[in-house]
């Protein structure tokens, strides 16, 4: 913890001419398995990372909410009285104002204060810098007022859905709040309950950033939501109790295959098989079966590539290349797709050689060096108590 907090104190003093009173940390995440299942009310298995957003705070008594992002090197401020009514402007500060606005809507006063935000989560890489920012800012604005952790995650998601305008599922904010050191968390996106899944010894997790984000992403996301809805409608005509793909098993899907168009069928096949892979992955974790865990990651990738069609040339190259590197147990794209990161499960001791191999192969093929992040499963958001 020595690095970011110490630096933050100095920057805070320079920026605001006073010392911060408190410091909060909220982690980014990587999703091990369970992709495009969250908005279908299924299961996901993310881990919170030691990469995190830090927000330092002190009261300023001048009736303004001020925020400076060290990452953006930019300051923004709003009169406290305008928080409930100020509109979004397609700017990074929307995440901060969105959280402040949701706090007001939930009946909490937003204090007149200075915030300094500094994050080690790479932005826009699919490791959820946005939820880390939201959750750390929410905690900083709450100060010593307590909020139920699930309510906190839901509030931050509303800020992103309704104010920023990004229709994300609950996973990112949930894991940022509920992360556990050394473990993954299996989240039931319907009941919003979770189960801690300790990770076996002998493995490392490495994220590889494709450094691309194809434009297709947001329109394809809307298409997938619609196509999954079409598959649900087809099943519902025979089984009215079905309300989401969560209620559909692989066997059901085979039964109703002839009643839906080929594309919704393949989308639904991804979601139902992915939910089954989550269960199998959690069991493999519990019996420390690293080989089975790795195979399930690869099966997930193939399903995302061929059935859900949200991969891209760069992600497929990273996965295929990873599978030829010694010590790699499995790999798949993680996050929404069309760019962002792959998640790689590596036998302990092989991570450094893996990073060298994948960087050089990718550079040769695409002319850019992919950033790699060693992912240490870390605890969820909390106040950082430094000396
Ligand atoms: P991801 O969450 O995968 O990193 P998003 O597109 O959801 O990608 O969120 C990234 C956006 O969040 C950035 O473009 C920026 O607007 C905002 N953001 C994240 N972290 C910070 C930060 N430390 N300072 C300012 N803005 C940030
Ligand atoms: Mg995000």
Å from CA of 168 to ligand 1 middle: 13
Phi, psi of 365 (to 5 degrees): -85, -40
Position 1 scores a pLDDT of 39
Position 217 scores a pLDDT of 66
- CA dist 57 and 5 (Å) reads 12
Give 99-137 pLDDT, tens digit per residue: 999 999 999 999 999 999 999 999 989 999 999 999 999
Cβ(71) to ligand 1 under 6 A?
A: yes
Cβ(125) to ligand 1 under 6 A?
A: yes
Q: Whose CA is nearest to atom 3 of ligand 1?
A: 126
Asked if the domains at 4-198 and 203-374 fall in one CATH topology, the answer is no
Residue of 92, 115, 119, 172 to mutate, ligand 1, most atoms within 8 A of C-beta: 92
Q: Number of C-alpha atoms within 13 angstroms, CB side, residue 50?
A: 13
Position 166 scores a pLDDT of 86
Report the top-level CATH class of 203-374: alpha beta
Residue of 130, 138, 159, 171 to mutate, ligand 1, most atoms within 8 A of C-beta: 130
Q: In which residue ranges of the chain is pLDDT below 70?
A: 1-3, 217, 387
What are the residue boundaries of the structural domains of the chain, listed by start? 4-198, 203-374
Cβ(92) to ligand 1 under 6 A?
A: yes
4-198 maps to CATH 3.40.50.300: no
Give 239-252 pLDDT, tens digit per residue: 999 999 999 988 88
Cβ(334) to ligand 1 under 6 A?
A: no
Residues with CB under 5 A from ligand 2 (ion): 128, 130
Residue 117 in contact with residue 134, Cβ under 8 Å? no
Position 386 scores a pLDDT of 74
Cβ(159) to ligand 1 under 6 A?
A: no
Å from CA of 237 to ligand 2 middle: 35
Position 323 scores a pLDDT of 98
Cβ(126) to ligand 1 under 6 A?
A: yes
């Amino acid at each position: 913890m020595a690095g970011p907090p110490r630096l933050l104190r100095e920057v805070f003093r320079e920026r605001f001419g006073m010392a911060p009173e408190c410091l909060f940390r909220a982690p980014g995440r990587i999703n091990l398995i369970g992709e495009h299942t969250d908005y279908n009310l299924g299961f996901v298995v993310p881990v919170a990372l030691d990469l995190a957003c830090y927000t330092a705070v002190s009261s300023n008594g001048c009736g303004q909410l001020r925020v400076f992002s060290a990452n953006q090197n930019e300051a923004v401020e709003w009169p406290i009285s305008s928080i409930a009514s100020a509109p979004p402007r397609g700017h990074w500060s929307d995440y901060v104002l969105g959280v402040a606005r949701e706090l007001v809507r939930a009946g909490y006063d937003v204090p007149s204060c200075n915030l300094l935000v500094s994050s080690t989560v790479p932005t826009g890489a699919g490791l959820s810098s946005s939820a880390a920012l939201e959750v750390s800012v929410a905690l900083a604005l709450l100060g010593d007022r307590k909020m139920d952790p699930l309510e906190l995650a839901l509030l931050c998601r509303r800020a992103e859905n309704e104010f920023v305008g990004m229709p994300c599922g609950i996973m990112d904010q949930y894991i940022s709040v509920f992360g556990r050191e050394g473990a993954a968390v299996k989240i039931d996106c319907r009941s919003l309950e979770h189960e801690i899944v300790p990770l076996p010894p002998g493995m490392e997790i490495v994220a590889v950033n494709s450094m691309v984000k194809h434009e297709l992403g947001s329109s394809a996301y809307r298409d997938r939501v619609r196509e999954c809805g079409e598959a649900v409608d087809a099943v519902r005509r025979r089984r009215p109790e079905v309300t989401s793909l969560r209620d559909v098993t692989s066997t059901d899907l085979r039964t109703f295959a002839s009643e839906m168009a080929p594309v919704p069928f393949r989308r639904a096949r991804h979601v139902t098989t992915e939910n089954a892979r989550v269960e199998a992955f959690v069991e493999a974790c519990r019996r420390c079966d690293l080989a089975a865990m790795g195979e399930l990651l690869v099966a997930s990738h193939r399903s995302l590539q061929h059935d859900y069609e949200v991969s891209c040339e760069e992600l497929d190259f990273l996965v295929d290349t990873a599978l030829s590197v010694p010590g790699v147990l499995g790999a798949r794209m993680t996050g929404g797709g069309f760019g962002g990161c792959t998640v790689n499960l590596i036998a302990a001791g092989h991570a450094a050689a893996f990073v060298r191999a994948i960087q050089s192969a990718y550079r040769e093929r695409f002319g850019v060096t992919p950033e790699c992040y060693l992912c240490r499963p870390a605890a969820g958001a909390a106040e950082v108590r430094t000396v």
